[in-house]
Amino acid sequence: MKMKKSSIIFSSLVSLYFFALVHRIGVAVIAIDMMKEFSVDASLIGLMSSMYFFPYAIAQIPVGIMLDRIGVRKTIVILSSIACIGSLIFSLSPSLELVSLGRAMIGFGVGGYYVSGYKAISIWFDQRKFATLTGTFTSLGNLGAIFATFPLAIITLYIGWRYSFLLITIIMIILTILAWISIEEYKSKEFYSKRNIISDLKIVFSHREFLLLSIIPFLAYGLTLSFQGLWGGPFLADVYNMDKSTVGILLLFISIGFMISSPLSGYISDKIRKRKPNLIFGVTINAIFWITLSIFGNKLNILSIAILLFLLGFSYGFFNVYMVISKELFTSDISGTSVASLNLFNFIGAGFFQYIMGIIISERNFSSYQNYFIIASILMLIAIIPALKIKESYKT
């Protein structure tokens, strides 16, 4: 009976997380359409897109606190309702300012999906399979990132980006109602914090290993999402003169790489009972991606581009083990707060680098893209240092 309940809760949360990825990545295939419709340059579209990430980051601490106090069900429905309203505003607004407001509300609202999944897995499932299950959760949710590439590009060609996102809004509303009906709260008090909020936050943010770990999501995830979620599409269109459908197909390889590596990384990590090797491997492969683009970014054939984008996604599936580490550094009663706190750095990084990249590539030629790739290469080489220094978190 417990397994059936667990599976229902897992499916409900994965379905919502799917649409967090659709919104996160989907702007990449409509960025050029939006530049034309609103008559704006790349820097303003970059700013609009980054409005998803900063509110998402801001939501993380409240989400973690809510999960550790009122549980998964209430947290997910409150936050998802905000996301649905934001998605409606995004799809219908006549100005870029209102579109940005809608995107900010989406970012804040869907900020509850991912961490709620981790909290639910920590409550309802065997902790010996935690990395495998969270990897599977993330991988299945990443189908949303796949949908947000070629399939979404094709849909927008037929009905436009506004009606496409209006349809997404309707589905999200239905899933939010289903989440309220299907998710049950766990009765055991071991998963709920008894301390005050400040004490929990102090425990997390004064932990040396946590602070060292936080450098990696800011750099690795921030740079990866700046490319996958926004500027990868314009890069392929500007440098290689590719059409929207070709861009969508190629960006798909990032998601495919991640979908394969995420459960694989979780399985390997649980099997060898170590987290650190996966972290080092993922960060290193990510650095190789940026270095390769810096040197050969305008000389690649379509097969080489597909392989390189696959490796970008593949690297993420491995370095994302830092989320598991953030849970294992602390006791189960503050697992929501610890995971959400690290997730904060994911999205501060994503918002920061999307905006900065928009400024650097404003001329939209290879030289400007190359400048960004060189900076990213240096930063990812720096990210290898904390990956090497972090202590092993797996507990037998």
pLDDT digits (tens, 9 = 90+) for 187-239: 655 556 667 788 888 999 999 999 999 999 999 999 998 998 788 988 999 99
Q: What is the pLDDT of residue 193?
A: 63
**Percent of the chain topping pLDDT 70:** 97
Q: Under the phi-then-psi rule, with left for phi > 0, alpha for psi from -120 to 50, and beta for the rest, what region is 45?
A: alpha
pLDDT in tens, 10-41: 889 999 999 999 998 888 888 888 998 898 88
In a domain, 189, yes or no: no
Kindly report the CATH number assigned to the domain that includes residue 351: 1.20.1250.20
Q: Check if the beta carbon of residue 248 is closer than 8 Å to that of residue 149.
A: yes
Integer-rounded Cα Rg, in Å, for the chain is 20
Asked whether 297 and 370 are in contact (CB, 8 A), the reply is yes
Biggest CA pair distance of the chain: 59
Whether pLDDT at 1 is above 50: no
Q: What's the pLDDT at 321? A: 94
Total number of domains constituting the chain: 1
Residue 84 within any structural domain of the chain: yes
Q: Is residue 396 in some structural domain?
A: no
Q: How confident is the model at residue 186 (pLDDT cuts 50, 70, 90)?
A: low
What the block records as the tokens of 376 is 């990213």
* Per-residue pLDDT at 2 exceeds 90: no
Q: Per the structure block, which two tokens stand in for 248?
A: 């969508």
* Tokens (6 digits) for 57: 């980051």
Give every CB contact of residue 94 below 8 A, 6+ residues apart in sequence: none
Cα 42 from Cα 103, distance rounded (Å): 17
What does the pLDDT read at residue 190? Answer: 55
Across the range 279-305, mean pLDDT stands at 97
Q: State the pLDDT at residue 187.
A: 64
pLDDT above 70 (res 146) = yes
Residue at 191 is within a domain: no
Q: What is the pLDDT of residues 318-330, one digit of tens each?
A: 999 999 999 899 8
88 located within any domain? yes
DSSP 199: H
Is residue 187, in this structure, part of any structural domain at all? Answer: no
Q: What distance in Å separates the CA atoms of residue 91 and residue 161, rounded to the nearest whole number?
A: 8
**Beta strand spans in 16-136 (E):** none
- The mean pLDDT value of the chain amounts to 90
Is position 394 within any domain? Answer: no
Q: How many CA atoms lie within 13 A of 325 on its CB side?
A: 29
Residue 374 structural domain: 2-182+196-389
- Is position 172 within any domain? yes
Q: What is the pLDDT of residue 192?
A: 60
